[in-house]
Amino acid sequence: MIPLRDDNPTTIQPLVTIAFIVVCSLVFLWQNSLGGRSFEATVLSLGAIPAALFGGKTLPPELALVPPALTVFTSMFLHGSWMHLIGNMLYLWIFGNNVEDAMGHVRFVLFYLLCGIAAVLAQALPNTDSTVPMIGASGAISGVLGAYLLLYPHARVLVLIPIGFYTRLVHLPAMAVLGFWFVLQLISTAFADPRGGGVAFGAHIGGFIAGMALLPIFKYRHVRLFAPSRHLRQ
């Protein structure tokens, strides 16, 4: 299922959501401008490497651009490919505006970064010897998805469902879309490469759970959990 938009109006302009999308996009354009080897060097320098964070390993001096602890943040704004970037930004655009609406601009910044930190820890701590760099906004965005699920489970999401050579557009409740996404992460984790390559499914799960746990702290007091759908389209 590929989400295209939700049917859930907001009351404020999602300035922070837009800013994160712009920053991630500009950073990726910068990465691409560096060329092949420099692109890879940037990923090693600014990606979060578990062995550097917790295993006592160090990067060569020419790659150690920032302290290892700072890569927890820098890694959130790097991406490995156009599809990686577009997929993450699509999810952030669809679901981030409503979560930002529920907690305000400043709180949303802190919430997003904390979810990203939790995602890195969830992926890194089970395998602190891994030298595979983690990059991407998906851990932080997973936190946004977890928050959205608690806030607006009944909101309708327009999704594109590929069926063989055909596609179908359907409206589904957010609880179905995001619940399916989370179950898919759990299944994928069970079959993931234990050496840490590929997609960081553990980060997705960690970010999602962190988003659900942090939401009651960051949302406005008047904002209800499990809100009914506010606007339905046929």
CATH number, residue 91: 1.20.1540.10
């909101």: which residue's tokens? 155
In a domain, 230, yes or no: no
Tokens for 204? 């997705």
Helix (H) or strand (E) holding 159: strand 156-163
pLDDT per residue over 109-122, tens digit each?
A: 999 999 999 999 99
The residue segments making up the domain with residue 115 are 2-218
Asked if residue 229 belongs to a domain, the reply is: no
60: Cβ contacts below 8 Å, ≥ 6 apart: none
pTM above 0.85, yes or no: yes
Tell me whether residue 204 is in a domain. yes
Sign of CA dihedral 13, 17, 20, 26: negative
Average pLDDT, the chain: 91
In a domain, 136, yes or no: yes
pLDDT (mean) for 24-45? 93
CA-CA distance, 82 to 28, in Å (whole number)? 8
What's the pLDDT at 93? 97
Q: CA 199, CA 53: separation in Å to the nearest integer?
A: 19
Q: What is the pLDDT of residue 231?
A: 53
- How many beta carbons lie within 10 A of that of residue 39, not counting itself? 15
Q: Is the pLDDT of residue 234 over 50?
A: no
Whether 144 is covered by a domain: the verdict is yes
Is residue 202 assigned to a domain? yes
pLDDT per residue over 187-233, tens digit each? Answer: 887 666 655 556 788 899 999 999 999 999 999 999 999 987 665 44
233 part of a folded domain: no
Q: Does a structural domain hold residue 180?
A: yes
- Give yes or no for residue 102 having a pLDDT over 90: yes
Give how many domains the chain has, as a whole number: 1
